[in-house]
């Protein structure tokens, strides 16, 4: 596919290095689309995968920005001022990186759609679609050096710069001015500081005692499911049933449920509380997205996933055959079969509520990497299989559940 722009409709926090994280309203350069519902994109110089349902493709602002940039390039003299409409992260030395809202001096345009500009003394190339030319009335006092930078409609003026003969001397003076001198005394001070720091660093046992780190064998998150059940004397962890009850009451009708992010600080705080106390009174939590995030995180961190790679392969081979699907699920360990029988009704219920905009396709995209075991490098074919299997189960869970032992 041809690269195109997409606008983020929700925050997305990738859990793995191969995923691309972004915030609502970020503009992402889409490089590739996969039938599984995932896309590969680029933001601030980083590339990665993200769910298609989190963005809107072909934001109209991109078209207007491109038209404005082309119009300015064809009708205005250089240099002129432009404002960055989106953040751009250059990947090569010859490219110019900038953030949304910054003012750029445009020096020249190329028919290929790239422009050369200057920002903070650095020059480089960038795509013309990332800027909007600034007209006379848009230039604010102090926003740019008006003696050397002109609006898009103004004639160009000479830009003051050192002559070829002066340049080497100026560069030498600048280097001398910015040079940093270190001596033995300063290094001794650094070594003394580091020595004291490492001596003061608390042990792991101290951090666990102060409840900064979770206990190794007695936590909730990341602990083997059967160990949790043995400790609690239950068939499904207490937190899971509490979270499902909370979300049914407060979250399943909310738009973006399971997609919108929660406060990272609150998420860590509640996670540690659950690791130490094993249960938390969820009724006092006002943000349903926080409970949804904890719910997803707990499932994601189950060792081996709820469904491992071997049963996933079996399920992928019988997609659409509900009886065969039920037979594979029946062969899961009892603790994981009971877990699926508890969690899947909630996901199926969420998918049937139009106002939350979380249909079976979106549920499969988001929970595919939570429910299924994740091993090895990023593989689009595995994602497709996970998506197809989970989407089928969400859409047909009532029938499948009726066939389970």
Task: Tell me, yes or no, whether 233 and 354 share the same domain.
Answer: yes
Please list, in sequence order, all residues whose beta carbon lies within 8 angstroms of the beta carbon of residue 116, skipping any fewer than 6 positions away.
96, 106, 107, 108, 109, 110, 123, 124, 125
- Rounded to two decimals, the pTM is 0.55
Task: Tell me, yes or no, whether 23 and 118 share the same domain.
Answer: no
Please list, in sequence order, all residues whose beta carbon lies within 8 angstroms of the beta carbon of residue 159, skipping any fewer than 6 positions away.
79, 148
Is 361 contained in some domain?
yes
Is 325 contained in some domain?
yes
Is 92 contained in some domain?
yes
Task: Tell me, yes or no, whether 230 and 297 share the same domain.
Answer: yes
CATH value at residue 231:
1.10.555.10
Q: Is the pLDDT of residue 248 over 90?
A: yes
What residues make up the domain containing 373?
225-403
- 152 contacts 72 by C-beta, under 8 angstroms: yes
**DSSP assignment, residue 123?**
E
Task: Tell me, yes or no, whether 48 and 71 share the same domain.
Answer: no
Q: pLDDT tens-digit profile of 272-319?
A: 889 888 888 999 999 999 999 999 999 999 999 999 999 999 999 999
Where is the domain boundary, 138, 153, 181?
A: 138
Where is the domain boundary, 16, 41, 58?
A: 58
Task: Tell me, yes or no, whether 130 and 38 share the same domain.
Answer: no
CATH value at residue 29:
2.30.30.40
Q: What is the full DSSP assignment across 244-300?
A: HHHHHHHTTTSTTTTTS---HHHHHHHHHHHHHHS---GGG---HHHHHHHHHHHHH
Is 382 contained in some domain?
yes
Q: pLDDT tens-digit profile of 47-79?
A: 888 888 788 876 434 444 444 444 444 445 788
Is 190 contained in some domain?
no
Is 80 contained in some domain?
yes
pLDDT for res 155? 34
Task: Tell me, yes or no, whether 367 and 397 share the same domain.
Answer: yes
Task: Tell me, yes or no, whether 131 and 269 share the same domain.
Answer: no
Task: Tell me, yes or no, whether 53 and 82 share the same domain.
Answer: no
**Which residue's entry shows tokens 């898009």?**
152
Say how many domains are in the chain.
3
Where is the domain boundary, 138, 171, 193?
A: 138
Is 183 contained in some domain?
no
Q: pLDDT tens-digit profile of 87-146?
A: 777 766 788 888 878 899 999 886 656 789 999 999 988 877 677 777 443 443 334 343
């Amino acid at each position: 596919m041809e690269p195109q722009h997409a606008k983020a409709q929700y925050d997305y926090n990738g859990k793995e290095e191969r995923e691309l994280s972004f915030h609502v309203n970020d503009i992402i350069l889409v490089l590739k689309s996969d039938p599984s519902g995932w896309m590969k994109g680029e933001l601030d110089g980083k590339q990665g995968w993200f769910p298609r349902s989190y963005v809107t493709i072909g934001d109209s602002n991109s078209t207007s920005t491109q038209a404005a940039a082309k119009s300015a390039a064809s009708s205005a003299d250089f240099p002129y001022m432009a404002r960055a409409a989106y953040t751009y992260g250059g990947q090569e030395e010859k490219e110019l990186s900038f953030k949304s809202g910054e003012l750029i001096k445009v020096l020249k345009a190329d028919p290929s759609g790239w422009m050369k500009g200057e920002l903070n003394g650095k020059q480089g190339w960038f795509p013309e679609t990332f800027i909007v030319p600034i007209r006379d009335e848009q230039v604010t006092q102090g926003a740019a050096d008006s003696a050397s930078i002109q609006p898009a409609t103004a004639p160009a003026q000479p830009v003051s710069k050192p002559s070829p003969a002066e340049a080497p001397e100026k560069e030498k003076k600048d280097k001398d001015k910015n040079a940093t001198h270190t001596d033995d005394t300063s290094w001794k001070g650094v070594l003394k500081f580091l020595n004291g720091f490492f001596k003061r660093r608390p042990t792991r046992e101290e951090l666990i005692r102060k409840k900064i780190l979770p206990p190794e064998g007695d936590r909730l998150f990341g602990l083997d499911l059967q160990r949790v059940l043995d400790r609690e004397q239950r068939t499904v962890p207490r937190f899971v049933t509490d979270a499902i009850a909370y979300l049914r009451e407060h979250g399943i009708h909310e738009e973006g449920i399971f997609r919108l992010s929660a406060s990272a600080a609150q998420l860590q705080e509640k996670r540690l509380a659950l690791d130490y106390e094993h249960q938390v009174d969820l009724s006092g939590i006002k943000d349903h997205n926080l409970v949804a995030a904890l719910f997803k995180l707990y499932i994601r961190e189950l060792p081996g996933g709820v469904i491992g790679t071997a049963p996933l392969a079996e399920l992928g081979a019988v997609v659409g055959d509900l009886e065969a699907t039920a037979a594979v699920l029946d062969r899961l360990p009892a603790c994981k079969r009971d877990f699926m029988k508890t969690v899947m009704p909630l996901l199926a219920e969420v998918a049937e509520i139009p106002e939350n905009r979380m249909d079976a396709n979106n549920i499969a995209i988001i929970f595919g990497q939570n429910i299924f075991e994740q091993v090895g490098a990023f593989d689009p074919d595995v994602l497709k299989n996970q998506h197809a299997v989970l989407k089928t189960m969400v859409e047909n869970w009532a029938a499948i559940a009726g066939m389970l032992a």
